Amino acid sequence: MTIILRNISPVVGVFLVILGSVGFISPTAKSPKQVLVIGIDGLSVEGFQKAKTPNLDKLFSDGVLSLQTRAVMPSVTLPNWTSHLTSGGPEQHGVTTNNWTLEAHELPPVETDADGYYPSIFKAVKDENPEIKTAYYYNWGNLINSINQKYLDEVGFEENDGYRENYDKALAFAKASKDSPFLIFLYTVHIDHAGHTNGWMSKEYIKAIEEADKAIGDLVKKMKSEDVFKNTNFFLITDHGGNEKGHGGLSKEEMEVPWAVVGPTILKDQKFQIPNSNANTASVIASIFGIQELQASAIGKTPAGIFKK
């Protein structure tokens, strides 16, 4: 309800301005739009269902959860993470293998930014509003090769499958940016490596998922205590599943993955059935920030049934 005040004395007017400035009333204030993308490499649908993940379950219980999202082909790491963060497919961004670099690749992107990279969601949000804070935390070295770091305010790399320091850095970045819009990408590869070493659905693989769930739970608890939780939109995304000790093929176990989002404007649908793709992620992020269109060649879109009316 909007209250219109007329014929206010100057003294009362000053009093109201002071109240608004300290947060007691704020009829026109809006919370900053904030996004934290949790990226778990190699998280299969079966693994997500079998592992005990109370923290992920609670975090996304009021949001959208898809267990039928399709990876892009090939079902390997760098093509899929690039698609997540650009809304282009490999045929658009040209990242077709894990060895892609800006200097050496077989298929050129269909369009590029000024530095030769296929445009990412980080470029899109910075173009929309340079004040949006962006951060990228990862622990697999090749992952960042397809992203132009010019559009990142902070980058963190952790060696030897470590990820807890990156989680702490992400928390510190969110805390420092809590009065600003922000986009944080927080990734770990240790679950994928557990699958390659011991097999998808091995006890070691399941344990790795459960360890990540605990770290995510700790992060969320700290975000709540630092008052950087309530305005944040959270994503859970992955690149592929796996079979035995590998992936890259066309089986359902490799090509269908979990995908989830929750936030202040997100609907609740724990059995999301609308066709979805890894290439849609950047489009949904763009929608949260009010960006109407991404680059001309983007194939990703925001599926119906994600946002509240």
Among residues 123, 64, 65, 116, which one has the least CA distance to residue 93? 116
* pLDDT range class, residue 213, cuts 50, 70, 90: very high
Mean pLDDT, range 262-279, rounded to an integer: 96
**298 in any annotated domain:** no
Three-state SS annotation for 272-286: CCCCCEHHHHHHHHH
Does residue 247 carry a pLDDT above 90? yes
pLDDT for 285 equals 98
Neighbours of 156 (CB within 10 A): 18
The helix/strand/coil state of 3 is: coil
Q: Among 13-22, 205-214, 243-252, where is mean pLDDT lowest?
A: 13-22
- Taking a C-beta distance cutoff of 8 angstroms, is the pair 108, 118 a contact? no
Give residue-wise pLDDT tens across range 173-185.
999 999 999 999 9
Neighbours of 46 (CB within 10 A): 17
Total domains in the chain come to 1
**165 in any annotated domain:** yes
**11 in any annotated domain:** no
pLDDT for 28 equals 32
pLDDT for 228 equals 95
Whether cis (ω within 30° of 0) applies to the bond prior to 54 is: no
**Cα–Cα distance between 79 and 105 in angstroms, integer?**
12
**Cα–Cα distance between 41 and 57 in angstroms, integer?**
18
In this structure, the strands spanning 64-70 and 256-262 are antiparallel
Which CATH number covers residue 70? 3.40.720.10
**6 in any annotated domain:** no
**Cα–Cα distance between 101 and 181 in angstroms, integer?**
30
Q: What is the DSSP-derived secondary structure letter of residue 117?
A: P
**44 in any annotated domain:** yes
- Taking a C-beta distance cutoff of 8 angstroms, is the pair 164, 188 a contact? no
pLDDT for 32 equals 83
The helix/strand/coil state of 155 is: strand
Give residue-wise pLDDT tens across range 8-55.
444 444 433 333 433 333 333 467 899 999 999 999 999 999 999 999
Q: To the nearest whole number, what is the mean pLDDT of the chain?
A: 91
pLDDT for 30 equals 63
pLDDT for 6 equals 38
User: Helix 281-288 vs helix 121-128: angle between axes, to the nearest 10 degrees?
Assistant: 20
Neighbours of 308 (CB within 10 A): 9
CA distances from 251 to 127, 245, 283, 301 (A): 38, 14, 26, 24
Secondary structure percentages of the chain, helix, strand, coil, to 5: 35, 15, 45
**22 in any annotated domain:** no
Residue 183: phi and psi, rounded to 5, are -130, 115
**17 in any annotated domain:** no
Which residue range is the domain that position 224 belongs to? 30-288
* Of 177 and 7, more confident: 177
pLDDT for 125 equals 98
- Tokens standing for residue 7: 């014929």
Neighbours of 290 (CB within 10 A): 11
Give residue-wise pLDDT tens across range 73-91.
999 999 999 999 999 999 9
Share of residues in the chain with pLDDT > 90 (%)? 89
Mean pLDDT, range 100-112, rounded to an integer: 97
* pLDDT range class, residue 71, cuts 50, 70, 90: very high
The helix/strand/coil state of 134 is: strand
**74 in any annotated domain:** yes
Neighbours of 117 (CB within 10 A): 21
**Cα–Cα distance between 137 and 157 in angstroms, integer?**
6
pLDDT for 309 equals 81
pLDDT for 73 equals 97
